[in-house]
Amino acid sequence: MPGLFGMCHIKRLSDSLRLEPLTLLQKHSVLPYATAFFEPDQYERCLASALSTGQSALAFSATQQDVFERVRWKQYCHQCARRDLNDFGESYWHRAHNLPGIIVCIEHGQMLRRTPLRTSGANAWTYKLPHELCGVGANHHRPNDFDFKFAQSSIQLASNKLGTQIVRGAAWYRQRLVDKNLLSVNHPICSDTLTAWLFQKMSGNPQRFGYRDFAELKRWIPLMTRPGTDIPFSPTKHLLFETALELSQAHSLPILDYKKVDRTVRKYCRPRIFGSLNQ
């Protein structure tokens, strides 16, 4: 399935553009981003698939599609489009504006404009360029610290050298929570409270990052801290968790510790803890 930064037949394309195949993948595809948290052997298989053709390239297509699923519509920065037009005579679609969850241009400090043009699928190919869409998708929201930090981390991930693998398991995340005094050492985590903590860091608006609601967040956030979990989480999920950790100050008391309650007298409800998560 075609996509904005999805590619196939890399060797032929690189010959046409007079670029080395790895340079093309490094600077103009989502491969560095999509494979950042892969195991080394998994990355090598994906790279081999990227440099293949036909049936052998299917694994690479699936890796790219996993990124595009969270970015349905092309985005652009109005100021970047005007600058590109002045510098090059035309604008272009920036990879840094179309990674999952990015909603702000970190260079100009403004919200990106979302267009009605799809990033992938049968109607993804279009000759429309950002400067021809001026006025489309104007967004007057003001970005916050989380938006900027998340965007910076995402762009850095996409710029990492190919083959730079990052290890982030449950033990790593639990230790970071302990370091922030959000969790006691060797203590179970309350999944409701953990999800509410990240929900608040996202300003209570997960839709901006491609997630519908609190319930959808809860399906994967607790699993990222559960020992023995062997699920390959997407880069977007890792970056959301890491951004929340980085922007959290050390808490006075661990708030994520699971406390056993008497289920015979307690009715289930989502914890009302948002007022206490002010750090």
> Which of 72-76, 238-242, 272-276 reaches the highest mean pLDDT?
238-242
Are 202 and 240 in contact by the 8 Å Cβ rule? The answer is yes
Q: Report how far apart the first and last C-alpha atoms of the chain are (Å, whole number).
A: 43
Give 213-246 pLDDT, tens digit per residue.
899 999 999 999 998 887 889 899 999 999 999 9
Give 15-37 pLDDT, tens digit per residue.
888 889 899 889 888 889 999 99
pLDDT at 232: 86
pLDDT at 180: 94
Give 123-171 pLDDT, tens digit per residue.
667 778 888 887 666 666 788 899 999 999 999 999 999 888 898 999 9
> Would you tell me how many other CB atoms lie within 10 Å of the CB of residue 88?
9
> Would you tell me how many other CB atoms lie within 10 Å of the CB of residue 127?
5
Name the token pair of 261: 């309650």
Give the rounded percent of residues in the chain with a pLDDT score beyond 70: 88
Beta-strand runs (E) in 103-252: 104-105, 110-111, 113-118
The model's pTM: 0.86
pLDDT at 140: 60
pLDDT at 119: 82
pLDDT at 108: 92
Give 35-69 pLDDT, tens digit per residue.
999 988 889 988 888 888 777 777 777 777 777 77
Are 61 and 1 in contact by the 8 Å Cβ rule? The answer is yes
Average pLDDT, the chain: 85
pLDDT at 266: 54
Q: Reduced to 3 states, what is the DSSP secondary structure of residue 219?
A: coil
Give 92-117 pLDDT, tens digit per residue.
999 999 999 999 999 999 899 988 88
